[in-house]
């Protein structure tokens, strides 16, 4: 843990310049607008340690797989999130000397602020250059939500101890490299570098995938707020274009450069029209100007917060943590485009190839469902429908047939982007999470239409997979699922992972139920889908045979389902008995030792109890929680949230609160010492769940919202909002009461601690 971020309800603040923290802050202060994003790299040059990164949503490169030992079935290529051409750079020279915080004699009053309420990032400092000139600098940057191809920078410099000649050299640069490359391939091909009429453009496409992009900029100079008519000198090179503005500023005068830049991409425009589209984008931005565009940014973020904010009274760090999570999720994905998804690092780093894990279905969909229009969650479901053919191909590569679908462990375009056999081939429970999300979407939104239109085909592909993947054990006289990795990745290639088996059975049951429902209610869709999938009654009977007779490892003695066959053969020493210096085990122990230990990386059996809470009694939950949590090391960012929800349900508020803090400030306090590489975006949705489902106890029961609110003793109150079927309900939980405020026209009946409560619209209900 490193705690250098100042506590503040609405802003992330760093004070003081520490070169050791530059890479961490570059991650934490990252900005994004769903379409693009970038790490909080300095605009001016910096010769110290830095991790430069700019990213464009949906732009990737299929890197040739490189492994120590090839295993049949590995994909030959692996889609990687790509570092994109950079548009933020502004070299600054003061009296002919480059401004570089790494070489300045003195850096004072350095601070960063990421204003989450309004969606901008500010950096200020005073520096004394080696040549003795002292300048104060203030840089404001944001990526527009309104014009999502455009970002804006206001770079202000004030000479403080003498008049100074200031040279700004804003530039575009496509000569970028990836931190992570398997074969040192060239990822980008720059096709044109242009500068004309004060605007600059670099057209470049990714190799192989041919995503065409145009990176652009235009700048304007101001002295003490007055626009200067300055025609820049223009410099173009192979992969770079720079404009040069030279201006004297008297001591105390402020010279500022407004830089507008960004990307247009062939996903949204004709490839041949990107420069034109860029001109249009620049035109719109310039017409508005920096200040007006920033004003609109504030409004846009206000609208997001209006719906998704969570307030916490009496615990500023918890407040800052939850807002940081909500803010980053919204920076990463806004749900406008069903071709995009929520990358595990968003726009903050490039670790992990691909963008889409089961995290989306298991963790992110509940957040987006409740805080956005329901179309956003539908877009995420549609994304998987669009990838169904590829999932079927993927299953074929692994020996399945007849339309069985196995969704990839990680993907960008539907193809598998992962190559670690025990995960890629065996962590197949991901398939179940996709089916569960379909169920969850319908349960929450009441919108059944996705299932007849798209979901049924997905469910059939998934059911076929499970049917084929299970095999019959004569010894057990049951169907078994051999050789899998469950959510707890500290077990590989195990037999009969309870969570996987349970999910497999559920997937088949759910698919069978939906087949009936669609046949009854949407007969056209039914006939279309049956025609397309060639599903027969006898096949469905075979599915049922498997689902009805699947094996669940269970210990009579312990009264719990076993994580997998043989779990009780382990040395069952609980985590609290492990010496501190042995942890985290993923850093201290060799892999085989981890595997034969009982230690659990993240909820596994308990993930099943989370998904299917209503299948089990609270006593059963308690028994399993008490059995498994003591072996859980929570070394996945996805672990604490599920445990927080269950601890809250079991009225263990101190434990629930501890898990909550760990999930909500994971990156801010750098629990895992890896924030330099980027943020853990998808687990941030788990933080939201910890409050709404955990403390708030929100569930859908009998098609209605239900709450069982609890409050950690450290808090005075907290509130959240839910978009439930286009009705906005604000819930405020205080020490001794719960308040509901419902918008709209009609009454709504909910449950509170099991009791029916009728809410009148626009009227505060205090219980």
Number of residues that bind a second copy (CB under 8 A): 49
Binding flag, residue 289, a second copy (CB under 8 A) = no
Residue 665 CA to residue 667 CA, distance in Å, equals 6
Residue 597 CA to residue 631 CA, distance in Å, equals 9
Q: Do the beta carbons of residue 695 and residue 709 sit within 8 Å?
A: yes
Residue 118 CA to residue 305 CA, distance in Å, equals 9
CB of 188 to a second copy, least distance (A): 22
Query: Which one among 238, 287, 474, 538 touches a second copy, defined by CB under 8 A?
Result: 474
Name residue 158's beta-bridge partners: 136
| Residue (538 or 591) nearer to a second copy, CB | 591
Torsions phi, psi for 679 (to 5 deg) = -95, 160
With CB under 8 A as the contact rule, which of the stretches 35-43, 368-376, 477-485, 664-672 interacts with a second copy? 477-485
Query: Which one among 589, 620, 621, 765 touches a second copy, defined by CB under 8 A?
Result: 589
| Residue (392 or 729) nearer to a second copy, CB | 392
Residue 648 CA to residue 733 CA, distance in Å, equals 14
Sign of CA dihedral 205, 211, 212, 216: negative
Query: Which one among 398, 578, 621, 717 touches a second copy, defined by CB under 8 A?
Result: 398
Q: Do the beta carbons of residue 751 and residue 399 sit within 8 Å?
A: no
**Which residues ranging from 422 to 451 are in contact with a second copy (CB under 8 A)?**
422, 425-426
With CB under 8 A as the contact rule, which of the stretches 62-70, 243-251, 336-344, 733-741 interacts with a second copy? 62-70
Binding flag, residue 73, a second copy (CB under 8 A) = yes
CB of 393 to a second copy, least distance (A): 13
**Which residues ranging from 534 to 573 are in contact with a second copy (CB under 8 A)?**
565-566, 568-572
Q: What is the token pair recorded at 156?
A: 């202000």
CB of 549 to a second copy, least distance (A): 14
- The residue annotated as part of the active site, out of 26, 149, 203, 489, is 489
Strand, helix or coil for residue 97: strand
With CB under 8 A as the contact rule, which of the stretches 91-99, 145-153, 395-403, 677-685 interacts with a second copy? 395-403
Q: What is the token pair recorded at 736?
A: 């001794």
Query: Which one among 50, 189, 236, 493 touches a second copy, defined by CB under 8 A?
Result: 493
CB of 482 to a second copy, least distance (A): 4
Q: What is the token pair recorded at 1?
A: 């843990």
Binding flag, residue 65, a second copy (CB under 8 A) = yes
CB of 681 to a second copy, least distance (A): 21
- Give the contacts of 180 (CB within 8 A, at least 6 positions apart): 80, 350, 351
| Residue (482 or 650) nearer to a second copy, CB | 482
| Residue (73 or 289) nearer to a second copy, CB | 73
CB of 410 to a second copy, least distance (A): 12
Query: Which one among 235, 397, 528, 545 touches a second copy, defined by CB under 8 A?
Result: 397
Residue 163: CB atoms within 10 A of its CB come to 14
Residue 183 CA to residue 237 CA, distance in Å, equals 26
Torsions phi, psi for 374 (to 5 deg) = -65, -15
Residue 62 CA to residue 84 CA, distance in Å, equals 15
> Is 602 one of the annotated binding-site residues?
yes
Residue 516: CB atoms within 10 A of its CB come to 11
| Residue (184 or 238) nearer to a second copy, CB | 184
| Residue (103 or 182) nearer to a second copy, CB | 182
Residue 4: CB atoms within 10 A of its CB come to 17
Query: Which one among 483, 509, 578, 734 touches a second copy, defined by CB under 8 A?
Result: 483
Q: What is the token pair recorded at 261?
A: 């830049």
Binding flag, residue 591, a second copy (CB under 8 A) = yes
CB of 683 to a second copy, least distance (A): 20
Binding flag, residue 509, a second copy (CB under 8 A) = no
How many CA atoms lie less than 13 Å away from 583 in the CB half-sphere? 17
CB of 591 to a second copy, least distance (A): 4
In order of 152, 214, 243, 256, the CA distances from 233 in angstroms are: 21, 21, 6, 17
Residue 340 CA to residue 387 CA, distance in Å, equals 12
| Residue (593 or 756) nearer to a second copy, CB | 593
Q: What is the token pair recorded at 704?
A: 């209605």
Binding flag, residue 134, a second copy (CB under 8 A) = no
Binding flag, residue 69, a second copy (CB under 8 A) = yes
Residue 532 CA to residue 522 CA, distance in Å, equals 15
With CB under 8 A as the contact rule, which of the stretches 99-107, 115-123, 416-424, 452-460 interacts with a second copy? 416-424
CB of 77 to a second copy, least distance (A): 13
Binding flag, residue 209, a second copy (CB under 8 A) = no
With CB under 8 A as the contact rule, which of the stretches 203-211, 246-254, 472-480, 652-660 interacts with a second copy? 472-480
Active-site residue 203, yes or no? no
CB of 586 to a second copy, least distance (A): 7
With CB under 8 A as the contact rule, which of the stretches 238-246, 397-405, 674-682, 695-703 interacts with a second copy? 397-405
**Which residues ranging from 592 to 621 are in contact with a second copy (CB under 8 A)?**
592-596
User: Is 674 exposed, middle or buried (CB count within 10 Å of its CB: 0-12, 13-18, 19+)?
Assistant: middle
| Residue (592 or 619) nearer to a second copy, CB | 592
- Closest C-alpha to 134, from 107, 154, 100, 152: 107
Query: Which one among 185, 234, 420, 620 touches a second copy, defined by CB under 8 A?
Result: 420
Name residue 97's beta-bridge partners: 94
Q: What is the token pair recorded at 531?
A: 């025609």
> Is 359 one of the annotated binding-site residues?
yes
Q: What is the token pair recorded at 606?
A: 């308990």
- Give the contacts of 572 (CB within 8 A, at least 6 positions apart): 598, 631
With CB under 8 A as the contact rule, which of the stretches 63-71, 94-102, 685-693, 723-731 interacts with a second copy? 63-71
Give the burial string for 35-54 (b: 16+ CB within 10 Å, else e). Answer: bbbbbbbbbbbbeeebbbbb
Please identify which residue in the block is written with the tokens 């230990």: 597
Binding-site residue set for substrate? 358-359, 601-602
Residues binding a second copy (CB under 8 A): 65-69, 71-73, 397-399, 419-422, 425-426, 471-476, 480, 482-483, 492-496, 565-566, 568-572, 586-596
Binding-site residue set? 358-359, 601-602
Just list the catalytic residues.
489
């Amino acid at each position: 843990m490193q705690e250098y971020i100042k506590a503040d309800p609405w802003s992330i603040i760093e004070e003081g310049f520490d070169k050791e923290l530059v890479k961490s802050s570059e991650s934490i202060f990252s900005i994004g607008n769903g379409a693009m994003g970038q790490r909080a790299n300095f605009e001016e040059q910096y010769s110290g340690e830095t991790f430069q990164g700019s990213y464009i949503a949906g732009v990737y490169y299929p890197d040739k797989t490189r492994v120590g030992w090839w295993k049949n079935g590995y994909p030959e290529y692996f889609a990687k999130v790509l570092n994109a051409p950079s548009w933020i750079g502004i070299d600054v020279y003061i009296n002919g000397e480059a401004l570089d915080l790494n070489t300045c004699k003195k850096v004072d009053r350095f601070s960063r602020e990421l204003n989450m309420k309004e969606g901008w990032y500010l950096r200020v400092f005073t520096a004394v250059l080696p040549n003795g000139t002292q300048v104060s600098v203030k840089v404001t940057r944001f990526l527009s939500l309104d014009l999502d191809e455009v970002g804006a920078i206001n770079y202000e410099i004030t000479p403080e101890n003498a008049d100074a000649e200031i040279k700004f050299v804003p530039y575009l640069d496509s000569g970028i490299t990836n931190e992570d490359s398997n074969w040192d391939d060239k990822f980008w091909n720059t096709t044109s570098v242009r500068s004309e009429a004060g605007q600059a453009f670099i057209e470049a496409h990714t190799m192989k995938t041919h995503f065409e992009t145009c990176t652009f900029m235009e700048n304007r100079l101001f002295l003490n707020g007055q626009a200067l008519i300055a025609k820049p000198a223009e410099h173009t090179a192979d992969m770079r274009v720079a404009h040069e503005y030279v201006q004297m500023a008297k001591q105390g005068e402020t010279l500022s450069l407004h830089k507008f830049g960004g990307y247009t991409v062939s996903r949204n425009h004709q490839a041949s029209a990107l420069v034109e589209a860029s001109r249009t984008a620049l035109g719109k931005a310039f017409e508005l100007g920096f200040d007006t565009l920033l004003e609109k940014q504030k409004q846009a973020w206000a609208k997001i917060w209006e719906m998704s904010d969570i307030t916490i009274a009496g615990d500023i760090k918890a407040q800052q943590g939850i807002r940081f999570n909500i803010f980053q999720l919204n920076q990463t994905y806004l749900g406008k485009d069903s071709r995009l998804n929520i990358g595990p690092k968003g726009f903050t780093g490039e670790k992990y190839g691909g963008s889409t894990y089961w995290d989306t279905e298991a963790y992110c969909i509940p957040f987006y469902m409740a805080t956005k229009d329901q179309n956003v969650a539908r877009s995420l479901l549609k994304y998987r429908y669009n990838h169904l053919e590829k999932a079927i191909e993927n299953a074929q590569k692994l020996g399945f047939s007849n339309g069985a679908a196995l969704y990839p462990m990680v993907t960008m375009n539907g193809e598998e982007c992962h190559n670690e056999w025990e995960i890629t081939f065996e962590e197949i429970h991901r398939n179940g999470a996709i089916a569960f999300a379909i169920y969850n979407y319908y349960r929450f939104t009441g919108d059944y239409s996705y299932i007849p239109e798209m979901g049924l085909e997905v469910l059939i592909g998934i059911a076929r997979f499970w049917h084929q993947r299970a095999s019959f054990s004569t010894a057990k006289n049951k169907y078994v699922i051999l050789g899998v990795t469950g959510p707890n990745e500290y077990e590989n290639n195990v037999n009969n992972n309870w969570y996987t088996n349970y999910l497999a059975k559920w997937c088949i049951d759910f698919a069978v139920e939906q087949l009936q429902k669609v046949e009854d209610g949407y007969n056209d869709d039914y006939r279309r889908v049956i025609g397309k999938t060639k599903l027969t009654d006898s096949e469905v009977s075979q599915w049922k045979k498997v689902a009805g007779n699947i094996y669940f490892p269970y210990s009579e003695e312990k009264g719990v389902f076993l994580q997998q066959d043989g779990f009780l053969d382990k040395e069952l020493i609980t985590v609290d008995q492990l010496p501190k210096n042995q942890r985290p085990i993923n850093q201290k122990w060799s892999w085989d030792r981890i595997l034969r230990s009982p230690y659990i990386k993240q909820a596994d059996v308990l993930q099943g109890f989370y998904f299917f809470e209503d299948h089990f009694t609270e006593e059963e939950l308690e028994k399993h929680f008490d059995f498994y949590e003591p072996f859980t090391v929570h070394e996945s960012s996805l672990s604490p949230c599920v445990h927080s929800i269950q601890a809250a349900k079991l009225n263990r508020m101190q434990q629930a609160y501890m898990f909550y803090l760990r999930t909500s400030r994971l990156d801010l306090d750098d629990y895992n010492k890896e924030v330099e590489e980027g943020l853990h975006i998808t687990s941030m949705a788990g933080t939201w769940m910890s409050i709404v489902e955990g403390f708030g106890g929100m569930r859908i029961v009998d098609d209605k919202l239900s709450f069982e609110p609890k409050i950690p003793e450290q808090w005075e109150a907290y509130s959240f909002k839910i978009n439930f079927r286009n009705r906005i309900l604000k819930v405020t939980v205080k020490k001794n009461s719960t308040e509901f405020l419902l918008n709209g026209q009609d009454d709504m009946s909910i449950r509170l601690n099991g009791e029916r409560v009728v809410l009148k619209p626009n009227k505060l209900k205090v219980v």
